[in-house]
Structure 1
Amino acid sequence: MKKASLIKMAAFLAASFAIQLSGAKAALAETAEANYALYCVQCHGSAGTGKGINAPYLAVAPRNHTSDKDMSSLTDDGIALAIKEGGAAVSKSTQMPAWKSVLTDAEIKDLVAHLRKMCKCSFKKP
């Protein structure tokens, strides 16, 4: 093979690899927001106020993720447990599903951080 062809092939492969890496980084950067939009908004609403499209049909109102008062009473571990194991695991609504078979532990941790941004709060001991 000619030297020029090898150089062109190497440049093409390097460019392809760089494009794949940049796409993966972009996808990781939006994981929490994308997961919230995909799995949470139906009940909690796109603004996180607990007024999603399914909320009127639930026996228990979904939590308002923008409420400093409500969210600051919850530990990050408690929020993660509710997401992972469902509402019953934290003595809340059984209508909150467990997401452990859908979300990884890392995605759940990122989702907890996203919820903290939504409420602009952190856990406060009573």
Structure 2
Amino acid sequence: MQNNRIRLLMLFITLLLPGIAMAASNAKENYGYYCVQCHGMKGNGMGLNIKDMSVQPRDHTDAKAMGARSDDEIFKVIKEGGQSISKSVLMPPWGDTFSDEEIHDLVKYLRSLCNCKLGG
């Protein structure tokens, strides 16, 4: 009986872990494909496009600035664009590109870049 529980637990973990790793991997890949042109390879707001931009993109490594934004605000700006939270029109809406789940994963990824949580 104990062996069956252990096997079931191991099966569950085996099935669950790739999904968690895949979400983190997909968020990093999505960021690398869609966001680095403006926000930079390191997420520091120093992307290739900044020379042509009138507003500097958000530095996602800035713990103080990112910690001042709620997860809901970050989700909204990714989904609906900069204007949705009274920020730059240069930040496009990505709601037609990403699912809500992918946007939530991006929010988590951004929190890892700034090494911060809300208010921290």
TM-score > 0.5, shorter chain as reference: yes
TM-score when normalising by structure 2: 0.80
After superposition, give the CA deviation of every residue in 1:32-85 in whole Å (9 maximum; x if it has no partner). 000000110000001000000001211110000000111000000000000000
Are 1:77 and 2:84 matched, yes or no?
A: no
Are 1:31 and 2:26 matched, yes or no?
A: yes
What is the match of residue 106 of structure 1? 101
What one-letter code is carried by the residue in structure 2 that aligns with 1:122?
A: K
TM-score when normalising by structure 1: 0.77
Q: Which runs of 4+ in 1 moved over 4 A?
A: 24-29
- Pairwise mapping of residues 5-84 of structure 1 onto structure 2 (< 5 A)? 25=19, 27-84=22-79
What one-letter code is carried by the residue in structure 2 that aligns with 1:87?
A: G
Kindly indicate whether structure 1 or structure 2 has the higher relative contact order, using CA contacts under 8 Å at least 6 residues apart. Answer: 2
What is the match of residue 118 of structure 2? 123
- Residue 97 of structure 1, CA deviation: 0.3
What one-letter code is carried by the residue in structure 1 that aligns with 2:39?
A: H
- Residue 27 of structure 1, CA deviation: 4.8
What is the RMSD computed on CA atoms of the aligned residues? Answer: 1.8
Three-state SS of the structure 2 residue aligned to 1:66 is coil
What is the match of residue 84 of structure 2? 89
- Give 5+ residue unaligned stretches, structure 1: 1-20
